[in-house]
Amino acid sequence: MIKSKIKIRTRYMPEGLKILYDDRDIIIIDKSAGLLSVKSNYEKEKTAHFLLTNYIKKGNPRIKESLFAVHRLDRETSGILIFAKSYAIREKFVEQWTTVEKKYLALVHGTLKEKSGIIESYLAEGKDYRVRRVENASEGKLARTKYKVVKEFKKSTLLEIELLTGKKNQIRVQFSEKGHPLIGDSKYGNSIKGRLALHAWSIKFKHPHSDEEMYFETKIPDCFMI
């Protein structure tokens, strides 16, 4: 882990997230499950963006900088999330995003026959906001997901997943269609309780200002090691 350039003020740490790194250009957090990344039509304040903005202002009430989400995580997904402190820095991230290495951890139902591989399918979102696989390539977008088994339990499997593309609900849809829905997934599985077992575990990228190689990794959630 890389040491933060700006002192992390634990006194003002917002509930629902942990700050991993902070400098003049970016701020990186570990978001808890259940917290939105940015505001929506139905929620304005219980978001990582809103809480981080307040955190920065408490350190310096006169500060004028705005935060820009570099990427987003589903509300139910925990893990690493990056915000840029200027639009220019965000745009530099966008330019290099295809080279950013993002790895997730997922706990799925059952035992996979193939212990590693790449899942490829074309996905499209329906009018009901559910994403599904489509056979006709012209009707969807190509989604590619690389995975390998980390640990097998009696009725579930812990996977390390690398997104080769970034489509909406990609991991959840592809493993559901493979017959191994994520534990806690009420949308693409049959779970009715418990958190979604999907965690943005690590990320590797070049700093958009200094070009320094950056790598961050978070702790595996305890509930994944059942």
Query: Got the DSSP string for the chain?
Result: -PPPSS---GGGPPTTEEEEEE-SSEEEEEEPTT-BSS--SS-SSSBHHHHHHHHHHHH-TT-----EESS---TT-EEEEEEESSHHHHHHHHHHGGG-EEEEEEEEES--SSSEEEEEEEEEE-TTS-EEEESSGGGSEEEEEEEEEEEE-SSEEEEEEEESS--TTHHHHHHHHTT-PBTT-TTTS---SS---EEEEEEEEE-TTT--EEEEE-PPPGGG--
Q: Is residue 81 part of a domain?
A: yes
Q: Active site includes 74?
A: yes
Least confident of 112-116, 148-152, 165-169, 213-217: 165-169
Catalytic residue among 23, 74, 185, 222: 74
Q: Tell me if 3 is assigned to some domain.
A: no
Is the pLDDT reported for residue 60 higher than 70?
no
At residue 3, the pLDDT reads 83
Residue 68 resides in a domain: yes
Does 46 have pLDDT greater than 70? yes
Classify residue 219: in a domain, yes or no. yes
- Model pLDDT, residue 152: 96
Residue 107 inside a domain? The answer is: yes
Q: Which residue has the higher pLDDT, 191 or 156?
A: 156
Average pLDDT value for residue range 125-152: 93
Say if 186 falls within a structural domain.
Answer: yes
Q: What is the mean pLDDT of the chain?
A: 91
CATH assignment of the domain containing 175? 3.30.2350.10
Residue 67: inside a domain: yes
Write the pLDDT tens digit of every residue in 102-136: 999 999 999 999 999 999 999 999 989 899 999 98
Q: What is the pLDDT of residue 83?
A: 97
**pLDDT at 39 (0 to 100):** 87
Number of domains in the chain: 1
Query: Is residue 5, in this structure, part of any structural domain at all?
Result: no
Quick one: what percent of the chain has pLDDT higher than 90? Answer: 72
At 213 the pLDDT is 95
Residue 183: band (very low, low, confident or very high) from pLDDT cuts 50, 70, 90 = very high
Range of the domain at 43: 10-224
